[in-house]
Amino acid sequence: MSPKFSPLLLALLPLLANAQSTRPPAPTTDGNEQPTQLPAVKVTAHDEATPRQERIAAWGIATPHDTPAAISVIGRDRIEARQIRTLSELAREDATLGDNYAPVGYYQNIAIRGYALDLGTGYRINNLAMTGEQPIALEDKQQVEVLKGLAGLSAGVMEPGGVVNFVSKRPEDVRTLTLGVDSRGSSYAALDLGAWITPRFGLRTNIAGERMHAFVEHADGRRAFFAVAADWKISDATTLELDLNHLDSAQRSASGYMLIGGTQFPQHVDRHAMLGYQPWQKPVAIRANNASARLRHAFNDDWTLRLALGRSRSVIDDNVAFAYGCWYVTACSNGSPPNYFAPDGSYDIYDYRNPGDTRTSDDARITLEGHFTTGGIGHALTLGVSAFHRGINRHWHVNDYIGTGNINDPLPPVFNPSPKQIGPRVQRLNSWQRSLFAMDRVSLDEHWQLLIGVRHIDLSEQARSKKNILERDTHLHTTLPQVALLWQPNDALTTYASYSEGLSLGQQAPSWTSNDGDSLAPRLSRQVEAGIKYRWTPRLDVDAALFRIRQPYQYAQPDGSWAGFTFVQRGEEVHTGLELSANGRMGDATSLHASLALTQAHATGTGTPAYDGHQVVNVPRLRASLQIDHRLAGLPRITVFGGWRYAAANPATPDGALSAPAYSVFDLGLRHDGSLDGHEVSTQVGIDNLFNRFYWRDTGSSQGDNYLFPGAPRLLRLTVRVSL
């Protein structure tokens, strides 16, 4: 692969490679956008202390230990040790995360606490909104912060599960080359170059290229990525941080399976087969750009002003021979639901083309932070204003039936593509969200803190059909409160209880319902949470959280309409859960990352008794994840690492009649840290899915339809990382 990079990058590379290591004292960083400056990445160290001291923008600005919410921080060393390159692989690291419609060859989505993230607001980069409709590159990320539960104060309108914030690497004196291959024939190269050019100005560049050989046949692809970060310490009081990245990828997308006749799982599945494959099918091409600027100015020791601007844009050339339903299959004419595969395993194949599908996010925020004391009571005050715009511009796409395949066929028959052509371009969504927010952290005494926050939202949103007909015009004003109480009897222990509210937009009715395309009313969510955070040792944290989230339930209700279903909002969806985690080091030789999530997710009062009281689709009652690294006592340069992840039976229908079987998956690896000609060299070999277990990793939905995605088979990966 030959990624195309700008002349500016080519000019910067020699400068970065030869810059003097004259870095200044670490500039004061913006906790809202950037964590405390970390030391240069050490190839041979892999001795990551839990990045718990980094400041999180959630309930004000604080470390995770001082934040009244469950937070998981996945640091850079952990990303490299697990060889994580996709969002789905990242979801394995925490038991509260799960896939939710994450096909091979397409952008992926995940769920937190059983709620799929909103692709418009659920993903953030340096605490600014980014379009979730892109393969999110991790080469330029220092850490990933998973904020669980409602975060209406920090993110506004969003799904109640939480948000994922990607934190960019900052300038460091680092020069690292990473090369990788795997047992399927994929190849990977990444270059990380950073330096302080002057005592006040630093740069960090990350470049990556990848040729991907997927486990699904005909789904090979490519990816090229470039990112640059710059820090400018304008004065002792003012710091500017800039980030820019560009991604270009192309890969055929693999369709998901569906239930057979709506009543059973496909049997004897060949997970290497691409459903609906047509030789003329083009890859899905995605081009994404993300840029941000963050200015911090300290008026004095007590008051700080922060300005942040971000823009995210993703352009998708969507091409797929899509396997879906059985509307045109004879075997479905006997009353089988047409939005599933036929009882004999047959399915329709559609020629779907939607080039130039453009998603944009523009985010701006101004915050003022101050510390003061009144009457012996301390206050940490945050005041802010923000504006967020999201736009979706799409052509009148082609989605035309071309023939029928069967899951038992080694290869589907070849059909001619649809003669239909792409129609005019229409702005499908124009959304503005303007907010005022405030948070006060009140120190009642040495051990007790009361946090009170509020965000007032002004939402204006217009959604249009492909024929440019106004389908929805939403104007909404609402105020979202948050309150929490913390008790910290000593430096090691934090206990908290919190209440928060959030707002998420109504879902759109699926195509097979009587009110196809209608968007339902926005949904108010309420969450209560209580938790304990305990620093067991200086390098090991143990956390527990108990939560309950309530949200109106939206679903396809069986009825006597012409379609047999109408998409309605009725009753409540209630998620109640217990989360346990341990992260850090157990002694000098062993690191541990363990998490467990027990979740009861039920719908109640739906008006459809068969749906009440059952576990919600794609929310297993139990998930667990365990990752252990151990440096051998007699061979200190060698580290053995192993992983285990478990999911209980995963519901696939709202009446609880069908569930994907529970599964356990084991990973194993070995790393050697050494040197060659004065250069630090880390060589790592890992095996994912050691026992080649077949499992259904995802029963999630997209646009109202539920799909089944098998987990990846065994994979051997080799990575070599060299300090230049």
Residue type, 713: P
Q: How many CB atoms lie within 10 A of CB 609?
A: 8
3-state secondary structure of 286: strand
Distance of CA 268 to the CA centre of its chain: 31
Residue-wise pLDDT for 235-293, tens only, equals 999 999 999 999 999 999 999 999 999 999 999 999 999 999 999 999 999 999 999 99
What pLDDT was estimated at residue 11? 35
Q: Assess contact for 345 and 260: CB atoms under 8 A.
A: yes
pLDDT of residue 151: 63
- Phi and psi dihedrals of 548, rounded to 5? -145, 125
- Using alpha carbons, select from 133, 128, 137 the residue that is nearest to residue 118: 133
pLDDT tens-digit series, residues 146-202? 999 876 666 788 899 999 999 999 999 999 999 999 999 999 999 999 999 999 999
| Three-state SS letters, 524-577 | EEEEEEEEEEEEEECCEEEEEEEEEEEEEEEEEEECCCCCCEEEEEEEEEEEEE
Residue 19's pLDDT is 39
Asked if 141 and 190 touch (Cβ cutoff 8 Å), the reply is: no
**Cα–Cα distance for residue pair 373/500, rounded to 1 Å:** 26
Task: Set out the domains of the chain in order of their start, with CATH numbers.
Answer: 7-723 (2.40.170.20)
DSSP 50-103: P-TTS-EEESEEE-GGGSSS-EEEEEHHHHHHTT--SHHHHGGG-TTEEESS--
Pick left, alpha or beta for residue 407 (phi over 0 → left; psi -120 to 50 → alpha; otherwise beta): alpha
Q: For the chain, how long is the longest CA-to-CA vector?
A: 79
pLDDT tens by residue, 622-654: 999 999 999 999 899 999 999 999 999 999 999
DSSP state, residue 341: B
pTM recorded for the entire structure: 0.91
> 299 exposed, middle or buried (CB, 10 Å; 0-12, 13-18, 19+)?
exposed
3-state secondary structure of 618: coil
**Residue ranges of the chain with per-residue pLDDT less than 50:** 1-53
pLDDT for 461-471, tens place per residue?
998 877 778 87
- For 18, phi and psi rounded to 5 degrees? -110, 5
